[in-house]
Structure 1
Amino acid sequence: MRVGIVGCGKIADGHAEQLQTVARAQLVAACDREPLMVEQFAQRWPGVARHTDFAAMVREERLDVVHLATPPDSHVALACAALEMGCHVFVEKPFAPDAKGAARILEAARVTGKRVSVNYLYNFESPALGLRDLLDAGTLGSIVHLETALGYNLAGDYGMAVMSDPMHWVHRLPGKLFHNVLDHVLAKLVAHFDDDFTVQAIGLRRRPASGNEAIDAMPDELRFMLRGGNGVTACGMVSSHARPVAHTLKVYGSRDTVELDYACRTLVRAARQSQPSALGRLFPPWVQASRFGSNALRNVAAFRRYESHYFQCMRVLLEQFYAAIEDNAADPVPHEEILRVARMIDAIVVALEVGA
């Protein structure tokens, strides 16, 4: 399938790199409104045709699939246009600025009969795939509660881009920094909720004021709680200050509990005391050590198979997305979950505004 990327910023290179490994995909073109950006992208990825006009790229390059790596306030218009021009669409997160926009994209996909998906890549990390197996097997029982934490380093490459530029698109989002990262947090949770949920949230800026109004208006700490109509609850933290930078999920089930660390790529079931008295307390740490050791061996094996790079999870997601197109298989990210994530983000933004 002939593929074009729209938006030639930093994340576009991640898409381009993983597309090289997807046998069904051939990256043939890139587009950006800024000629210098697309020129530099084409230099990094030789053989890619350069364009500054989106519609012209789709027509002239006879594209089958479009990847959107543009700021999210452009996603609705571009995705709907690409779908109407006969392309399947893969969208970088956030999928849309709000649930209304997300619904428009999904409806356009339904009407045109084309596939659309979003880069919820961490749901395809090895720990997440392991969690899916445990859930399918019923090992955890029914889900009771989930705890999630995501760190965002404002001194890192992406963080510095936001902090150094008051005109950065993140500052235009209703939820600012949180709006940009909550997809990663909520995409892990939504499968366990129905559409009847309530939200509580607080946000604050912990860092000192910079003197720039736009930058200082961006909070950097978020706490939220979700309660589903099905009885499931979840709490979450997005933090720019907690160290080490976290990326974790803990799932409490009626039969067992499991903790995932996406940065370390580990999934460890809880150890329980089964022997009596003080003697019984000696065994659980050894059980946990053994389980972490098994994860370490699994990660070594993945490293030897060249499956341990940073965006390995995006590769898995893209392979499933392109298989869904060619083989008429199930969407790797269900559309109802995409819309539910957007609705949850909207609800968190409203809760933050009410509490401000």
Structure 2
Amino acid sequence: MLRIGMIGCGKIADGHIEQVRAIGRGEIVAVCDREPLMAEQLAVRMNVPAQYSDLARMLASERLDVVHVATPPDSHVALAAAALDAGCHVFMEKPFALDAAQAQVILDHAQRVGRHVGVNYLYNFEAPALELQGLLDTGALGDIVHLDTSYGYNLSGDYGLAVMADATHWVHRLPGKLFHNVLDHVLAKVVAHLGDEVTVKAFALRRRPETGNPIVDGMADELRFLMRSGDVTVSGLVSAHGRPVAHTLKVVGTQDSVELDYAARTLVRSARQTQPSAIGRLMPAWTQARRFAGSGWRNLGRFRRSEFHYFQCLRVLLGRFYDAVEGRGPDPVPREHILRVCRLIDQIVVATGAER
């Protein structure tokens, strides 16, 4: 059993601990937060044996194999370095780092000490994403031509309200503000199809009314971007106002195209007209209905197997990360993908800063 420690005891830490226990290959033996009350409440609620407010003490006392880091990204370099130097593998919450330079520091440090570093790009391990990977592996879509990705952000939810109400919230310290906190989710889905040289055009705007607080009002809430890498293009939408709140990806290939909905957990091949005239226009809707029904039946099967809960994708990702830690498989998120995501975020930050 892996001995696992948790750094950062906010809301997302619950999900990490629950999935570690569900996998059954490791034990959360300690939690740490610089605010002692945060560490105490998590340890008590989740029945964790030890709690710390000092990371050095936890690392010295607990002989940990893996450390999960769920703190704001401006702390990640220092925390990762301490854990890696203590001989731990590190699983990081997104955003992985403040910028690509810091990401490079973390990854180089891990390589130097021979430890694995993972990141919570969980949606790449959601059911439709795994189905998509199967299609890509068999070449069913042909060469990728274009990807279109959409991600909604609900400012009326608990997290959005916290960001809007608190000008000192850590999101306001990010170079990309609100978008920086979600762009990992958007870009992690597409970087496997991009090379190292990517051209980025982007603009950002604020649709919501002014609050009178210059820090909050200076935060854009709508983002659009367009990328090109060789013959592949990517278009992106991040929106706090579009309804319903979207979380989708369309992949256009030379042989076929598919549309993924991560919220509904569906992957459906795009409709095409194969019959002539009016009949040809009538049939695609029924074909799509049958395909969505098939997705529904597959989801019902996942529900019956208890694989349809919110963090099922995190469970899959952590299982693969622990495989890598134990020498039984590759890193589920390659280091070059982590770096590419961070570099693209840097490019979007520069582009939107210039636009505004």
Cα distance in 1, alignment partners of residues 257 and 206 from structure 2:
33
Question: Which aligned runs of 4 or more in structure 1 are off by greater than 3 angstroms?
Answer: none
Tell me, yes or no, if the aligned pair for 2:31 and 2:48 is still in contact at 8 Å.
no
CA distance in 1, matches of 2:328, 2:316: 17
2:84 match: 83
Q: In the alignment, which residue of structure 2 is the partner of 1:52?
A: 53
| Matched residue, 1:302 | 302
Deviations 1:237-289 (A, max 9, x none): 10000000000000000110100000000000012111111111111111100
The letter for the 1-side match of 2:274 is: S
Q: Which runs of 5+ in 1 are unaligned?
A: none
Amino acid at match of 2:148: E
Normalised to the residue count of structure 1, the TM-score between the two structures is 0.99
Gap regions ≥5 residues in structure 2: none
What's the secondary structure of 1:236's corresponding residue? strand
Deviations 1:66-106 (A, max 9, x none): 00000000011111221111000000000000000000011
CA deviation digits over 1:276-303, x for unaligned, max 9?
Answer: 1111111111110000000000001101
Structure 1: which amino acid aligns with 2:4? V
**Residue 121 of structure 1: CA displacement?**
0.1
In the other structure, the counterpart of 1:42 is 43
SS of residue paired to 2:182: helix
**What do you get for the CA RMSD once the two structures are aligned?**
0.7
Opposite residue 87 of structure 1, the aligned amino acid is: C
Distance 1:129 1:341 in 2: 20
Matched, 1:346 2:346: yes
| 1:355 lines up with 2:340 in the alignment | no
- The SS at the match of 1:268 is strand
Aligned partners of 2:289, 2:167: CA distance in 1, in Å?
46
Q: String of CA shifts for 1:314-351, please: whole Å, max 9, x gaps.
A: 00000000011113410000100000000000000000
Q: Report Cα offsets for 1:141-175 as digits up to 9, x if no partner.
A: 00000000000000111111211111100000000
The one-letter code matched in structure 2 to 1:300 is L
Query: Cα offset for 1:52?
Result: 0.3
> Is 2:179 the counterpart of 1:178?
yes
Instruction: Please name the residue that 1:205 is paired with.
Output: 206
TM-score, normalized by length of structure 2?
0.99
State the partner residue of 2:313: 313
Tell whether the 8 Å contact from 2:100 to 2:342 is kept in structure 1 after alignment.
yes
Q: Distance in 1 between matches of 2:300 and 2:114?
A: 42
**Could you say which residue in structure 2 is the equivalent of 1:127?**
128
Matched with 2:170 is 169
**Is residue 102 of structure 1 aligned with residue 81 of structure 2?**
no
Distance 2:44 2:264 in 1: 33
Please state how far the C-alpha of 1:204 moved relative to its aligned partner. Answer: 0.6
Corresponding position of 1:18: 19
Matches within 5 A, 1:58-73: 58-73=59-74
Q: What is the CA distance between 1:214 and its match in structure 2? A: 1.2
Q: Which residue identity lines up with residue 36 of structure 1 in the other structure? A: L
Aligned residues: 355
Match of 1:152 in 2: 153
Equivalent residue letter for 2:341: V
Number of the residue aligned with 2:249: 249
Distance (Å, rounded) in 2 between the aligned partners of 1:304 and 1:118:
29
Q: Distance in 1 between matches of 2:210 and 2:329?
A: 50
